[in-house]
Copies of this chain bind each other. A is one copy, B any other.
Amino acid sequence: MEKILVIEDDAAVQRALRRTFESAGFDVAIASDGAVAMETFRSTMPRLVILDLRLPGKSGQDLCREIKSECANVPILVLSAASDVLDKVLLLELGADDYVTKPFSPRELLARVRAAVRRLNQASDKIEAFSFDDVEVNFTKMELHRAGQLVPLTPQEFKMLRFFLNNQDRVISRTELLNEVWGYNNYPTTRTVDTHILRLRQKLEKDPTDPIHFRTVHGTGYKFVR
């Protein structure tokens, strides 16, 4: 279920948006006030933000910039009164990804949000190439070089590495790894995960004993940090 944040002061519009998006299966958080909006943003970490440019307290434009500077990959959809003199260039400068002028139809707004979320999911899911340290990996070619040298990875190792790269910084439990990397049918032991982490570390870490990238989160799982 995708989480979105609505920053809007008009109670009637709030209700309308909540109804529209909740019935479309979104998880809606609302901030009525520019002053608390950033806080709400940080605590909910939404997938997308709908922002009314006309706000009491902090200006919508500032908010836009602030959100973008903090989390560049969260799309922002701006609501603006038709009377507002707005040009697309300004909006793009602010970091907004799309805009809708009031009065708008909920249907249209919903369509735009869906489009934005779809783009996001597509873009984020399939890293084809990546590099960190002196490591360069290309999933299309299934090749990994370290300091220019080709390092052979097994298929399982590639899968696992890819999953980690697609979920950087996030702590991932062994169970989730088994589900996502091994698939739902196979049920190896959680011990197996450790062994594979070990192998990835030995191949990719400068000091496999004291790993920087493939970190252990005791009692919980592992996470990849660039």
A residues adjacent to B (C-beta < 8 A): 3, 11, 27, 29, 42-45, 88-89, 92, 122-123, 126-131, 140-142, 154-156, 169-171, 217-220, 223
**Which B residues are CB-close (under 8 A) to A156?**
219
Q: Give complex CA distance A91, B11 in Å.
A: 11
Q: Give complex CA distance A156, B45 in Å.
A: 23
Residue of B with least CB distance to A220: B155
Q: Which of B27, B42, B142, B219 contacts A129 (CB 8 A)?
A: B42
The answer to whether A131 touches B218, judged by C-beta atoms less than 8 angstroms apart, is: no
Stoichiometry (number of copies): 2
Q: Which of B42, B88, B130, B154 contacts A131 (CB 8 A)?
A: B42
Q: Give complex CA distance A102, B190 in Å.
A: 56
- Other 20 A-B pairs with CB < 8 A, given A140-B171, A142-B217, A154-B218: A11-B89, A11-B92, A29-B123, A42-B130, A42-B131, A43-B127, A43-B128, A43-B129, A44-B126, A44-B127, A45-B128, A45-B129, A140-B169, A141-B169, A141-B170, A142-B220, A142-B223, A154-B219, A155-B218, A155-B219
**Which B residues are CB-close (under 8 A) to A88?**
11
Q: Give complex CA distance A141, B27 in Å.
A: 21
**Which B residues are CB-close (under 8 A) to A122?**
27
Give me 11 A-to-B residue pairs in the complex whose CB atoms sit less than 8 angstroms apart, sorted by A's number. A11-B88, A11-B89, A42-B131, A44-B126, A140-B169, A141-B170, A141-B223, A155-B218, A155-B219, A155-B220, A156-B219
Q: Give complex CA distance A58, B223 in Å.
A: 31
Q: Report the minimum CB–CB distance from A101 to chain B (whole Å).
A: 18
What are the 4 closest A-B residue pairs judged by CB atoms, nearest first?
A: A155-B219, A45-B128, A142-B171, A11-B92
Q: Report the minimum CB–CB distance from A189 to chain B (whole Å).
A: 21
